[in-house]
Every structure is written in structure tokens, then in C-alpha cells.
Amino acid sequence: MSTTHTRNAARTMMSPAVILLLAWMLVPLAMTLWFSFQNYSLLSPGNESWAGFNNYKYFLTDPAFSEALVNTLLLVGGVLCITVIGGTLLALLLDQPMFGQGIVRLLVIAPFFVMPTVSALVWKNMFMNPTNGLFAFFAKSLGVTPIDWLGHHPLLSIILMVSWAWLPFATLILLTALQSLDSEQIEAAEMDGASSISRFFHIVVPHLARAATVVILIQTIFLLSIYAEIFVTTGGGPGNASTNIPWLVYRQSLLSYDVGVGSAGGIVAVILANIVAIFLMRMVGKNLDL
């Protein structure tokens, strides 16, 4: 790929993909930006006008905003903690030789293929329902008052549902990383007198750091935009207890019919996601080029 001719050919052939991707990203972004500076309410169509920064001011001073921001961070952080720690433990378990290993591994991966709306409905109606749910059944059979999960612990409930869906992904990535660990290193540590717990913390955990970084980066991207689970279960409530930024944007633009404020919220979400990305890159990105 060194002559001018081949370089030009490569550019020509790549350009449709590049142009399509650019358009796909830039057009919606530009439109959202434009709408965010407009007075644009679906209740009074045809009356659009320049709004300046009013939409932003309205969105950011909304008392729900700070709550949504905290909820978003709790949601992302909680799911990351559960999936990375749980995924590591599950991967350790699945790495042991056992009967029916192939089937067990396949089953563990299965939740990842269940779409969010379906999994949320199953969790809402079959597990967390305070009268008919499985959890309530167990509580009652133990003589304990059933917990109204979605009513009293809405954010925790959503964290659990999302963790369930993402745990297989983390497990899978961490399992492959675990299998690439040189067995001689473990044996060397064994000879060096390290107990199984110190072997785990001194040898296995550092080895998994890079894979965990990938898991954290990829999951963060998706977890910042959790929406379907909230839509089917709590609807952001009670109050704002389970409202995150994407849900707030939805509420402003489609429940309050205010496209302008919704767009401003969208732009704020983009900026926030970038801030999180910068922090993540600073914290864990250095693991990527060891």
C-alpha cells in the first residue's frame, strides 16, 4: 500500500463508508444543536423562534437535573462494580474443569441475548412484583414482609436488572483473559510461597486489568444511555428516584412536547459522556498500552 495509485484506490473505496458514517453522526448532531437553540414546542407548532441559551438554562436549573445526574452516575458505577467483580468471580468459577463445561458456558452467556425490554418485564412481573413475584414468594415462605422492589428501591432494582444483562459480557471477556494467563506464572508463584489468595491478587488480578479496562470502557458507553429498562418498569419514578439523563431528555421532549429543551438536554448528555470518557481514559486508559 505504498504507491500513489494504490493509496488513491484505497481512499476511493473507503470513502462511501466514511462519508456515510460521518453523515450518520454529523447530521443528527447538527440538527440537535440547532433545535437546542430554538423555541420549539410541539404544542404550538409553526411558532419556532431563536431561544439563545434559554433551553439550556431551563434544563440545567430543573431540580430534576441534579437528581438525574446523580442517578446516572450511581447506575453506571453500580452496574460496573457488580459486573466487574461478579464477572471476575464467575470467570474464575467457569475456568475450573467441570462436567458439562460447554453447556454451562453457553447458558451463562444467554442473558446477554435477551433484549432489555423483555428482561425488564420479566424482572418486573415475575421476580420483583411484591404480590406475585418470586422474591415475594421466598420472603413470604420465610415469614418476612415482601419488599416492594420497584416502589421502594427503584434505582437499585434497575441496577440489578441491568447488571444481570451485562454480567455475561464481563464474564466472557474476563474468562478469555483468564485463559490466556501463563500457567507457569501461577506455578512460579506457587513455588515462591504465595497462597491461593495472594496468587489471585498478585498475579491474576494484574493480568486481568487490561481486559477489565475494555469491559469498563465498553460498558460505560452503553450504561450511560440506559433507557428501555426504565421505560418498562419505573417510568423514572417514584418522583425522580430512578430518572437518569436519557430519561430526563425523553421526558422533556416527548412527555412535555418541548423539543428545544429536550435537544438541549441531549447536548448536555453528550458533553457529560465526553467528560466521563476523559476521566475513564485518564484512569484506566494507561492499562491499554502496557
Partner 1 sequence: MGSITLKKVAKRFGDIEVIPPLDLAINEGEFVVFVGPSGCGKSTLLRLIAGLEDVSGGVIEIDGADATSLPPAKRALAMVFQSYALYPHMSVRKNIAFPLKMAGMDKASIDEKVNKAAETLNLASYIDRRPGQLSGGQRQRVAIGRAIVREPAAFLFDEPLSNLDAALRGNMRIEISELHHKLDTTMIYVTHDQVEAMTMADKIVVLNSGRIEQVGSPMDLYREPANVFVAGFIGSPSMNLITGNAATEEGATTIGVRPEHFHLSMSEGKWQGTVGVSENLGSDTFLRVEVDGIGTLTARADGEFPASLGDTVYLTPDGERMHRFDASGLRMVR
* 184 alpha-carbon distance from chain centroid: 36
Q: How far apart are the first and last CA of the chain?
A: 29
| 105 near partner 1, judged by CB under 8 A | no
Residue 55 or 213 having the CB closest to partner 1 = 213
CA–CA distance, 146 with 139 (Å, rounded to integer)? 5
CA atoms of 269 and 281, how far apart (whole Å): 18
What is d(CA 37, CA 14) in angstroms, rounded to the nearest whole number? 35
Count of residues engaged in binding partner 1, rule: CB under 8 A: 19
Considering only residues 177 to 236 of the shown chain, the ones binding partner 1 according to CB under 8 A are: 182, 184-185, 187-195, 198, 202-203, 206-207, 209
Report in angstroms how near the CB of residue 64 gets to partner 1 at its nearest.
44
Shortest spacing between CB 180 and partner 1, in angstroms: 12
Cα R_g (the chain), whole angstroms: 24
- Quick note: the x/- pattern for partner 1 over 240-269, rule CB under 8 A, is ------------------------------
Inter-residue long-range contacts of 122-126, CB under 8 Å, 24+ positions, other chains counted: 123/157, 123/160, 123/161, 123/164, 123/233, 124/150, 124/232, 124/233
Return the number of the residue (150 or 204) whose C-beta is nearest partner 1.
204
Cβ of residue 81: shortest distance to partner 1, in angstroms? 22
Residues 6+ apart with CB under 8 A from 100: none
Q: How far is CA 74 from CA 168, 241, 278, in A?
A: 21, 11, 18
**Ordered alpha helix ranges (H), 37-133:** 54-61, 63-94, 101-109, 116-122
Burial 166-187 (b: 16+ CB within 10 A, else e): bbbbbbbbbbebbeeeeeeebe
What's the closest the beta carbon of residue 182 comes to partner 1, in angstroms?
6
Q: How far from chain centre, in Å, is Cα 102?
A: 27
Q: Which is nearer to partner 1, 206 or 239 (CB)?
A: 206
Give least dist CB 96 to partner 1, A.
Answer: 18
Strands of 76-202 (E only): list them: none
For partner 1, give the closer residue by CB, 41 or 287. Answer: 287
- In whole angstroms, how close is the CB of 281 to partner 1 at the nearest point? 20
Nearer to partner 1, 6 or 190 (CB): 190
Please report how close the Cβ of residue 194 comes to partner 1 at its closest, in angstroms. Answer: 5
Min CB(202)–partner 1 separation in Å:
7
Cβ nearer to partner 1, comparing 125 with 185: 185
Q: Which is nearer to partner 1, 1 or 191 (CB)?
A: 191
If the CB atoms of residues 199 and 251 are measured against partner 1, the closer one turns out to be: 199
Q: Which of 76, 117, 87, 119 is nearest to 227 (CA)?
A: 117
Which residue ranges make up the site for partner 1 (CB under 8 A)? 182, 184-185, 187-195, 198, 202-203, 206-207, 209, 290
